[in-house]
A and B are shown apart, each in its own frame.
Chain A
Amino acid sequence: MSQDVCEEKIYKAVFLEYSEMLRNFMYYKIGDLAKAEDLVQDAFAKLWENCSKVSPEKSKSYLFTIVNNQFLNQIAHQKVVLKFEGLRHTEKDVQSPEYLLEEKQFKQRLENAISQLPEDQRIVFLMNRIDKKKYREIAEELGLSVKAIEKRMHHALKTLKKIHKKL
């Protein structure tokens, strides 16, 4: 017997598996964490409504489609300002005040730089850097080819490299 999303146990498993990556994805896109989390809740509510029509295997792409559509319906494109945790200047563990200040400034600049990336590049870049996803996975989720993801990543790196040079 195959599993069914209408079963709360399965539904929960799907939620635990995909909710965070969806929330992150929406954050990269709109730069509003609370809103991103709301959209994820809405998408999962839709999945629950249609649980008999969506298999657990199809749930992921279904959810990605839903969050994207909800976004289009709700929010006009606006300037995105992303904030991150754990951004580090170097791998060295330095604690001097000068270093900490330098790190803070660096963090801000890099956040700005990432925020300024065109949306499609920004999303792909962060899905790889934060969610540690392979391009194949990102391609599948966004409904694009692996080549397209590689290209976006390449452009993102090129842009960030220029910005990083100035830092």
Chain B
Amino acid sequence: MSDIDTLYARWLDGELSAEEIKSLKESGDWAELEALVIATNSLKLPAYDKDGAFGKLMTANKAKTATIDPNAHRIKLSTILSAAASLLLLLGALFFLRQEAPDATAEYGETINYVFSDNSKVVLNDGSSISYNQDKWADERLVKLTGEALFDVERGTKFIVETKNGFIEVLGTSFNVRAWDRNLYVECYHGKVRVYANGESTELTKLRAVNIVNGTFGDVEEIRNEKPQWTDGTSGFKEESLNSVFAELERQYDIKVDMPNLNTKFTGIFSHDDIKKALQQVSKPMGLKYDINEDLDHVIITN
């Protein structure tokens, strides 16, 4: 093997000096190698329809992500929280892992109360949505959230709320999370939570908060507020009898509500600014229907 050979290799990388090229051309192998290079210069593969391929790819991607597989996200967490009581979490995430067909969406200007099969509940703030895999709910309660929401979690297997910026594992009772853009801001109001982002995690206890910017954890700091601002202008209930909820509605809107005697509990909120919206927020998750007169002062609830 001569130096000439490696010269050829380097020649094809376009890294030879003029002198080296000259010595190359004087070598005995030049004719054959040049012919080879010429022959392969215009070598091509059949055309590739990139746009067509991309179209197919996106169709497949979207079909696939319509149903969420929690295992695809490789979350392996211990089941510390089996002892946890029913808890209240507030979560927010403006951006989310991916656009998926959500299981519940609050359109702009509305707030949605949603009940999971295990009776865990979520209140979605406007413009927010959640998606989760119903089939796997019994094994792993993994909820993906876009926007902002209030969770009330029943005792059971681990409960995880995933956002684009990180995810939150429920350890104790209640906490508040806000994920804005690249930031993940978690406030713990009661009990304990563990926040994961970028391969790291930190535990928060009562009235402690942490801010994570672009995956970098800031110091744990103290908080003073008792609840997030977006719940202002609403009435919130936790396991409250429907009678009390509608009584509160009557007070707030100065209306009369007729309802059957229902022995069910309500967890969620209703807004103070729009009677129809408020009625929707209470009746929909409970499977009830409402009828309101034109003067908006008399409501009839049916199931």
Contacts and interface: CB of A to CB of B under 8 A. Distances in A.
Interface of A: 1, 6, 8, 12, 15-16, 19-20, 23-24, 27, 33, 37, 40-41, 44-45, 48-49, 51-52, 84-91, 106, 110, 126, 128-130, 134-135, 150-151, 153-154, 157-158, 160-161, 164-165
B48 interface: yes
A19 B57 CA distance: 11
7 contacts: A15-B54, A45-B57, A49-B65, A51-B98, A52-B98, A154-B9, A165-B32
A27 B97 CA distance: 33
A44 to B, nearest CB: 5
Contacts of A89: 39
Given A15-B57, A90-B38, A157 B5 contact: yes
B38 A88 contact: yes
Contacts of B43: 84-87, 126, 129-130
Chain A at the B interface: mostly helix, strand, loop or mixed?
Answer: helix
Given A15-B53, A153-B12, 10 more contacts: A41-B53, A41-B56, A45-B64, A52-B164, A91-B38, A126-B43, A134-B13, A157-B5, A157-B12, A161-B33
A41 B50 contact: no
Contacts of B39: 87-89, 106, 110
Residue with the highest number of chain A CB atoms closer than 10 Å, among B14, B57, B60, B64: B57
A28 to B, nearest CB: 9
A154 B8 contact: yes
Contact of A85 (B12, B14, B44): B44
Nearest to B58: A8
Contacts, number: 119
Contacts of B65: 48-49
Interface of B: 1, 5-6, 8-10, 12-15, 29, 32-33, 35-36, 38-46, 48, 50, 53-54, 56-58, 60-61, 64-65, 72, 97-99, 164, 181-182
Contact of A135 (B13, B64, B164): B13
A130 B45 contact: yes
A160 B13 contact: no
A89 B67 CA distance: 54
Contacts of B35: 90, 164
A150 B61 CA distance: 39
A127 B38 CA distance: 16
A130 B14 CA distance: 15
Contacts of B10: 150
Nearest to A110: B39
Contacts of A110: 39-40
A153 B9 contact: yes
B57 A41 contact: yes
A44 B54 CA distance: 9
A10 to B, nearest CB: 13
B9 A150 contact: yes
A157 B72 CA distance: 44
A27 B53 contact: no
B60 A157 contact: no
Contacts of A49: 64-65, 72
Contact of A84 (B8, B44, B98): B44
A12 B51 CA distance: 9
A124 to B, nearest CB: 10
A159 to B, nearest CB: 11
Contacts of B9: 150-151, 153-154, 157
Given A1-B181, A154-B9, A19 B33 contact: no
